[in-house]
Amino acid sequence: MGLLVDSSSHTRMSHPHGNPINLSHTRRLNMIWCRFELEGETNFGIVEGDRVIQVSGSPLGEYAVTNNVHPLEQVKLLAPIKPAMLYAAGPNYRGHVEGMAARRGSPPSYPDRPSPNYRSVHAVIGTEENIVVPKDSAGAVQPEGQLAVVIGKKAKKVSVDEALDCVFGYTIGNDISERPWQQADRTMFRGKNCDTWKPMGPWIVTDLSSTGFRIIVRHNGVVWEDFSSSDQIWDTATWIHELSKYATLYPGDVLWMGTQGADGDMVPGDIIEVEISDIGILRNYVVAEEYG
């Protein structure tokens, strides 16, 4: 990924005749966007190899490339976006429906239409951060590795054919779930939305195909799940189409696309990784709540 950087404090790419180009409309293919903290400041950046090129502005709007280049290992990666809305696809893989039904001791009930719900945006954390298990958890806290779709432009009542034009890029989510609470609470509030229970990252990759991602969930280095996004009941375009019938989607909104299977239980001290092909690895550490 080559990048043009001049000697000015902020690069503005130009036509041969000197007219500035709005960088938000001249994206290169497969850009890797991160949000990072360094020396107490938070910025967006473009990841190239082992370095981060700092930008001013937002990748979802106008931005300018700066001359500030940082070693990747020296920045703290944050969740790559702070979504105003975080949608969850719910049951979107037959294996997950069957695994959860087996856990309950009941026959599987497959969804007959896309039925999205919400997750708390305040529960979002980045890679390498701690997943905190509340003291009064009943146990059975489990990971759910998921493909996460970042919306790039306003979408209302878009067709299936138009839907993918609204996608900015893809990242990784881990929909931490406490199963007893999930079954006991009518809204799944505790079961899905405790603080720190929505890890997302490490970055956003643009211009990828919406299908065929390989998704791997590891528990302390051992593979718990290994599946393909091609096994989804409904694909990304269908979900965006269905969502936009009733709710306007805005740049920066995120849709998590569901998981396969039913993983085992996590306990404090565990390391959980979700790896998705062509994106990267989201890694988090399970810890016990220290107070409360």
Is there a single domain that holds both residue 33 and residue 152?
no
Report pLDDT for 7.
26
Q: Is 57 among the domain residues?
A: yes
Q: Is the pLDDT of residue 203 over 90?
A: yes
Instruction: Classify 18 in phi/psi space as left (phi over 0), alpha (psi -120 to 50) or beta.
Output: left
Please write the tens of the pLDDT for every residue from 129-151: 999 999 999 889 999 999 999 99
Q: Considering the chain, what is the average pLDDT of its residues? A: 88
Is there a single domain that holds both residue 26 and residue 160?
no
Please write the tens of the pLDDT for every residue from 21-75: 344 434 567 899 999 999 999 999 999 999 999 999 999 999 999 999 999 999 9
**CA distance linking residue 182 with residue 184, whole number of Å:** 6
Is there a single domain that holds both residue 23 and residue 126?
no
Number of structural domains found in the chain: 2
Cα–chain center distance at 6: 33
Q: Is the distance from CB of 66 to CB of 55 less than 8 angstroms?
A: yes
Q: What is the pTM of this model?
A: 0.88
Among 77, 102, 129, residue at a domain's last position? 77
**CA distance linking residue 213 with residue 98, whole number of Å:** 21
Is there a single domain that holds both residue 96 and residue 237?
yes
Among 49, 77, 105, residue at a domain's last position? 77
Please write the tens of the pLDDT for every residue from 8-23: 333 333 222 333 334 4
Is there a single domain that holds both residue 238 and residue 193?
yes
Is there a single domain that holds both residue 99 and residue 231?
yes
Give strand ranges (E) for 137-220: 141-142, 145-151, 167-174, 177-178, 198-206, 214-219
Is there a single domain that holds both residue 26 and residue 133?
no
Is there a single domain that holds both residue 112 and residue 177?
yes
**CA distance linking residue 241 with residue 246, whole number of Å:** 9
Is there a single domain that holds both residue 233 and residue 104?
yes
Task: Fill in the DSSP letter of residue 94.
Answer: H
| Residue 219 burial (CB count, 10 A) | 19
Is there a single domain that holds both residue 61 and residue 14?
yes
**CA distance linking residue 89 with residue 259, whole number of Å:** 9
Please write the tens of the pLDDT for every residue from 76-111: 999 999 999 999 998 888 877 787 666 677 887 788
Host domain of residue 240: 86-288
Q: Is the distance from CB of 264 to CB of 141 less than 8 angstroms?
A: no
* % pLDDT > 70, the chain: 88
Among 26, 52, 77, residue at a domain's last position? 77
| Residue 32 burial (CB count, 10 A) | 20
Q: How far is CA 95 from CA 92, 100, 231, 263, in A?
A: 9, 9, 9, 11
Q: Is 5 among the domain residues?
A: no
* Cβ-based neighbours of 281, under 8 Å, separated by 6 or more: 127, 172, 202, 273, 274, 275
Q: Is 31 among the domain residues?
A: yes
Report pLDDT for 100.
67
Is there a single domain that holds both residue 206 and residue 227?
yes
Is there a single domain that holds both residue 233 and residue 273?
yes
